[in-house]
Amino acid sequence: MELKPRVLVVGGGAIGGLFAWRLSLSKDIVVSIVCRSNYVEVKSGGYMINSAQFGTAVYRPAKVYQTVEEAVEEEGPYDFVVVALKALPNIYDSSERIAAAVGEGTMVLVFQNGIGVEEPFARRFPRAAVVSTVTFVSVKQEEPGMLRHGGFSMLASGVHNVESGMMAQAQAKLQFLSDVFVSQGVSSIIEADIQPYRWQKHILNGSTNPVSVICNGASCQEMAKNGYCRKLLEDTMAEIFVLGKKVTGKSFPGVDGIVDPQSATEYIRSIPVPVYTSMLVDSQCKRPMERDVILKNPIALADKHGVDVPHMKALYAMVTMIEEGYTR
């Protein structure tokens, strides 16, 4: 009997739980997951999922592990490793956390938000295929193991680095996984150059996430409805459009009809259910925020390319001080 490809999802929070669930519904693939603070709940009762797109379900993963090392010892090596940890390079190196699971032929898919998130993986695994996956989705873990997902899920992936001569093989492998996602209702596309998609996603992440923290709890819709706050969002988005085009040398793909700052705030206003950003949730829970990949890395690129980003710099200063205030 031919062995089925095996996936290890590292980080069984909102994104990890949701996408492990969709993959697990396919008979073509075997999915295991590494959980940390919600290990006991997921191991005993699985995930309770409430999804506007897919309905409600209980997902009991075939295998739940507490550490990557434990997973590798029991069933490694893996064909795919999905990285669904928060990207917090100022606190830990995500690539180090998955290193034990990356062997000969493992494809690493980086599902994290932000700019420059692939670099630690490319540095640590120069011979592996590292894929950058941009996730257009909204999902939250409300209680340990309880996920609430919105009405859509879209993935855009592209090979970030691969050993010389191995590109065709990597593309075929990525296509296989993408097809599995599509078979389970997740939109999934593959792009030769994924960075314009990453920057497209960043229009919302780089603006609404930090501004919502400073606004002390506002939803994205509330921010986009207030004239002054909308202007702040649009000015920040304008910097991201200019910077992203300069860095990638390309226009953004225009996902969700977002082609400029004004269409972005119109889009936000049109979302029927209140959206609270992940950075806001992290700040309210007094957890570290993904401020480096959301703001610091783009600011470093702006300095390198000579692009003026005063709003991003001001937002970075403020969220950094807010975080220092509650972690001190």
Ligand X SMILES: NC(=O)C1=CN([C@@H]2O[C@H](COP(=O)(O)OP(=O)(O)OC[C@H]3O[C@@H](n4cnc5c(N)ncnc54)[C@H](OP(=O)(O)O)[C@@H]3O)[C@@H](O)[C@H]2O)C=CC1
Ligand Y SMILES: CC(C)(CO)C(=O)C(=O)O
Asked if 100 interacts with ligand X (CB under 6 A), we say no
- Which run of H or E residues covers position 280? helix 278-284
From the list ligand Y, ligand X, none, which binds 85 (C-beta under 5 to 8 Å, kind-based)?
A: ligand X
Cβ closer to ligand Y: 188 or 209?
209
Task: Tell me which amino acid residue 40 is.
Answer: V
With CB under 6 A as the contact rule, the residue among 7, 9, 14, 115 that binds ligand X is 14
The CB-of-138 to ligand Y minimum distance in angstroms stands at 5
- Which run of H or E residues covers position 43? helix 39-45
The CB-of-137 to ligand Y minimum distance in angstroms stands at 8
List of long-range contacts for 172-179, beta carbons under 8 Å, 24+ apart? 173/79, 173/80, 173/107, 173/129, 174/107, 174/129, 174/131, 176/5, 177/5, 177/7, 177/23, 177/29, 177/80, 177/107, 177/109
Query: What is the dihedral angle through the alpha carbons of 91, 94, 99, 102, rounded to the nearest 10 degrees?
Result: 180
The CB-of-181 to ligand X minimum distance in angstroms stands at 15
Closest residue to ligand X in the complex (CB) = 13
Closest CA to 34 of 42, 26, 22: 42
The CB-of-87 to ligand X minimum distance in angstroms stands at 5
With CB under 6 A as the contact rule, the residue among 95, 112, 132, 178 that binds ligand X is 112
With CB under 6 A as the contact rule, the residue among 6, 12, 106, 239 that binds ligand X is 12
Decide if 243 contacts 305 (C-beta within 8 A). Answer: yes
Contact region for ligand X (CB under 6 A) — 29-37, 49-57, 180-188, 224-232? 29-37
Interacting residues toward ligand Y by CB under 6 A: 113, 138, 204-205, 208-209, 275, 277-278
Cβ closer to ligand X: 146 or 167?
146
Strands 47-51 and 55-59: antiparallel
Decide if 194 contacts 134 (C-beta within 8 A). Answer: yes
Cβ closer to ligand Y: 94 or 113?
113
Decide if 160 contacts 205 (C-beta within 8 A). Answer: no
Asked if 84 interacts with ligand X (CB under 6 A), we say yes
From the list ligand X, ligand Y, none, which binds 243 (C-beta under 5 to 8 Å, kind-based)?
A: none
Decide if 315 contacts 295 (C-beta within 8 A). Answer: yes
Contact region for ligand X (CB under 6 A) — 24-32, 33-41, 124-132, 188-196? 33-41
DSSP 3: P
From the list ligand X, ligand Y, none, which binds 107 (C-beta under 5 to 8 Å, kind-based)?
A: none
Q: How many residues bind ligand X (CB under 6 A)?
A: 26
Asked if 32 interacts with ligand X (CB under 6 A), we say no
User: Tokens 């797109």 label which residue?
Assistant: 53
User: Could you give the CA distance from residue 242 to residue 158 in angstroms, rounded to a whole number?
Assistant: 22
Contact region for ligand X (CB under 6 A) — 24-32, 50-58, 79-87, 318-326? 79-87
The CB-of-286 to ligand X minimum distance in angstroms stands at 13
Q: Applying CB under 6 A, which residues contact ligand X?
A: 10-16, 34, 36-38, 84-87, 97, 111-113, 135, 137-139, 141, 278, 290
